[in-house]
Chain A
């Protein structure tokens, strides 16, 4: 793993806090009108943290997550990730930065329907200089880690929702990003699958040291995080510490193949 990490573009050493938001505001333009969504948001996320963002629908959770992940731009304020001010980046630079730094997990998995599980996981590596064989090897290892070694050649439509989300997690991991953002990762899953996904996220956090920001409105899901922040009408409430993910242990972690990664 350490060897593999060395072949990727260097990322500034994650000196805590990993994410810093200062007086961030965001408004959307709707016709002539500016609709404020986030106002004066300031907080930090430490490296290695697993943070849940909660709040009612329309409160701006996704918007906040998108700002941190660099797929949307703040109207004002400063966002630093791993010490870098991402507002200063141009579009192409920002895209490169995302490819290196962020792992994305979406509510509806957002896999390419025409690609197999393996190809979907391999996809982000097309942006690296790895050879085809190396890409394949890594993608296979990542799929094995999420317990889908047997499903590599299946297309998304041949997989259950939970399995698709595990493919998406493997895809998010493949470039070894420092920050994983997950927007309602269990929002479309039944309880059982949701639980598997949450335990998998915990493993990424604990075993691989990934910093995770997860948006959810499900208290059970939020319970797997270290801390919860509540968003209400664009403003942040106090942070609620949960300790080290009380709701779910590592007992019986999804499958035994994790060691391969």
Chain B
């Protein structure tokens, strides 16, 4: 009966409740989308592994490393695999069509990244064709790439017009795997560059190193770096996760701002809802006093008010969660490959519901306290 009473009270002022519900839904949905944006921001690091190290030029990422480092790193104790990767930075048709392209040592790269899933045939075709490339499923979907298509890129770092034939479309083994990259053979790029600009031959962007034990990451990193101490190209080695996070931290301020806004939205709706509840409770003063006169405890009255508020808030939260998924999908479509991974996480959903419930409870707190404290005779004298 308490529930019945609370629930029916919630929908007594249909318009007011609907407006509150709408506000809540918008706020909690906005919160969910913003959280997902923040998640997407960190997705690169999230998908990164602690069992892989990235070795780069100690001065800056824009300076390359010699190709002969490969064997030296390979011999360091604890290293069980190595591949390398160069940022290509080509333009597909127009500069706005941004997506990541890497020139990699293909076979070792695929060994080190088992989360990039290719069929056996696709893998074989890719490895056999030195002008071949593979693209992530999301990238393929965005630009309509199919196996056999030729993708033309205008080089920025590597001058000229480059053509690659799609030999496979890889899928992510996990939701957080980046499936919007394009990968092709470093050997092909290097041959071409060697011919055109000999001084830029045999240069490597970063080495990716697989180690036997993630717990030894720090130790192995310093061993690798020690190997190249006092050379013309000293190295800096860190876990892939730290490497990815160093990109994110450049834009950390934006992320912090987005997070702040997402919580601000919740605080605003809390203020709105608290005001609504205060108004509602004031109107029902005489009813609450009547219940108390009949012998109901102040706790019953509090339960009634909190129950009503929580019912509205949870309804708003659930609608918001239901809306977040399709909206996130639309958003992901709109931003394309800018965010390689754009998924609403379980954590975001939990936070949304928690925020909604929190808003419901907090909004009811003050009015409930007031209703509890009011004396029966004063409450009965209040004209509804």
Chain A residues close to B by CB (< 8 Å): 63, 66, 69, 71-72, 92, 95-96, 98-100, 104, 106, 108, 110, 112-115, 119, 122-124, 126-127, 171
Chain B neighbourhood of A69, CB < 8 A: 293
- CB atoms of B1 and A110 under 8 A apart: no
Chain A neighbourhood of B291, CB < 8 A: 123
Q: Can you list 28 pairs linking A and B with CB atoms under 8 Å apart?
A: A63-B377, A69-B293, A71-B293, A71-B376, A71-B377, A71-B380, A72-B375, A72-B377, A95-B292, A96-B295, A98-B293, A98-B295, A99-B294, A99-B295, A100-B295, A104-B290, A108-B286, A110-B286, A110-B290, A113-B12, A113-B287, A115-B5, A115-B8, A123-B1, A123-B294, A126-B1, A127-B295, A127-B296
B297 at the interface (CB under 8 A from A): yes
- B381 nearest CB neighbor, chain A only: A62
The distance from the CB of B131 to the nearest CB of chain A, in whole angstroms, is 74
- CB atoms of B5 and A106 under 8 A apart: no
- CB atoms of B293 and A104 under 8 A apart: yes
Chain A neighbourhood of B292, CB < 8 A: 71, 95
Distance between Cα atoms of A72 and B375 in the complex (Å) = 8
Partner of A110, one of B5, B9, B12, B287: B287
- CB atoms of B293 and A114 under 8 A apart: no
- CB atoms of A114 and B8 under 8 A apart: yes
Chain A neighbourhood of B2, CB < 8 A: 126
Chain A neighbourhood of B1, CB < 8 A: 119, 122-123, 126
Distance between Cα atoms of A96 and B300 in the complex (Å) = 13
- CB atoms of B293 and A92 under 8 A apart: no
- CB atoms of B295 and A106 under 8 A apart: no
Question: Number of contacting residues on B, CB 8 A?
Answer: 21
Chain A neighbourhood of B380, CB < 8 A: 71, 106, 110
The distance from the CB of B92 to the nearest CB of chain A, in whole angstroms, is 62
Main DSSP-derived SS at the B contact region:
helix
- A183 nearest CB neighbor, chain B only: B380
Q: How does the 8 Å CB contact mask read for B192-211 relative to A, with 1 for contact and 0 for none? A: 00000000000000000000
- CB atoms of B287 and A112 under 8 A apart: yes
- CB atoms of B5 and A95 under 8 A apart: no
Distance between Cα atoms of A69 and B295 in the complex (Å) = 11
Main DSSP-derived SS at the A contact region:
helix
Distance between Cα atoms of A92 and B300 in the complex (Å) = 12
- CB atoms of A114 and B5 under 8 A apart: yes
Centre residue among B2, B294, B297, B377 by max chain A CB count within 10 A: B294
The distance from the CB of A215 to the nearest CB of chain B, in whole angstroms, is 13
Distance between Cα atoms of A126 and B290 in the complex (Å) = 14
- CB atoms of A95 and B287 under 8 A apart: no
- A69 nearest CB neighbor, chain B only: B293
- CB atoms of A95 and B12 under 8 A apart: no
Distance between Cα atoms of A7 and B297 in the complex (Å) = 22
- B10 nearest CB neighbor, chain A only: A114
Distance between Cα atoms of A119 and B5 in the complex (Å) = 10
Distance between Cα atoms of A115 and B287 in the complex (Å) = 12
Once A106-B290, A122-B1 are accepted as A-B contacts, the answer to whether A114 and B9 lie under 8 Å apart by CB is yes
Q: How does the 8 Å CB contact mask read for B161-182 relative to A, with 1 for contact and 0 for none? A: 0000000000000000000000
- CB atoms of B296 and A95 under 8 A apart: yes
- CB atoms of B9 and A124 under 8 A apart: no
The distance from the CB of A233 to the nearest CB of chain B, in whole angstroms, is 19
The distance from the CB of B2 to the nearest CB of chain A, in whole angstroms, is 8
Q: How does the 8 Å CB contact mask read for B11-42 relative to A, with 1 for contact and 0 for none? A: 01000000000000000000000000000000
Chain A neighbourhood of B295, CB < 8 A: 95-96, 98-100, 124, 127
Distance between Cα atoms of A113 and B375 in the complex (Å) = 21
Distance between Cα atoms of A69 and B296 in the complex (Å) = 15
6 smallest beta-carbon distances between A and B, as pairs: A99-B295, A114-B8, A110-B290, A71-B376, A72-B377, A98-B295
Chain A neighbourhood of B294, CB < 8 A: 98-99, 104, 123-124, 127, 171
Distance between Cα atoms of A171 and B377 in the complex (Å) = 19
Chain A neighbourhood of B287, CB < 8 A: 110, 112-113
Q: How does the 8 Å CB contact mask read for B67-90 relative to A, with 1 for contact and 0 for none? A: 000000000000000000000000
Which B residues from 246 to 294 make CB contacts under 8 A with A? Answer: 286-287, 290-294
- CB atoms of A72 and B290 under 8 A apart: no
Distance between Cα atoms of A195 and B2 in the complex (Å) = 35
The distance from the CB of A136 to the nearest CB of chain B, in whole angstroms, is 11
Chain A neighbourhood of B8, CB < 8 A: 114-115
Distance between Cα atoms of A99 and B300 in the complex (Å) = 14
- CB atoms of A112 and B5 under 8 A apart: yes
The distance from the CB of B36 to the nearest CB of chain A, in whole angstroms, is 38
The distance from the CB of B321 to the nearest CB of chain A, in whole angstroms, is 28
Distance between Cα atoms of A113 and B286 in the complex (Å) = 12
Chain A neighbourhood of B290, CB < 8 A: 104, 106, 110, 112
Chain A neighbourhood of B12, CB < 8 A: 113-114
Chain B neighbourhood of A113, CB < 8 A: 12, 287
- CB atoms of B297 and A92 under 8 A apart: yes
Distance between Cα atoms of A112 and B284 in the complex (Å) = 10
The distance from the CB of A25 to the nearest CB of chain B, in whole angstroms, is 16
- A101 nearest CB neighbor, chain B only: B295
Apart from A104-B294, A106-B290, what 17 extra A-B contacts exist at CB < 8 Å?
A63-B377, A66-B376, A98-B295, A104-B290, A104-B293, A106-B380, A108-B286, A110-B286, A110-B380, A112-B5, A113-B12, A115-B5, A123-B1, A123-B291, A124-B295, A126-B1, A126-B2
The distance from the CB of B1 to the nearest CB of chain A, in whole angstroms, is 6
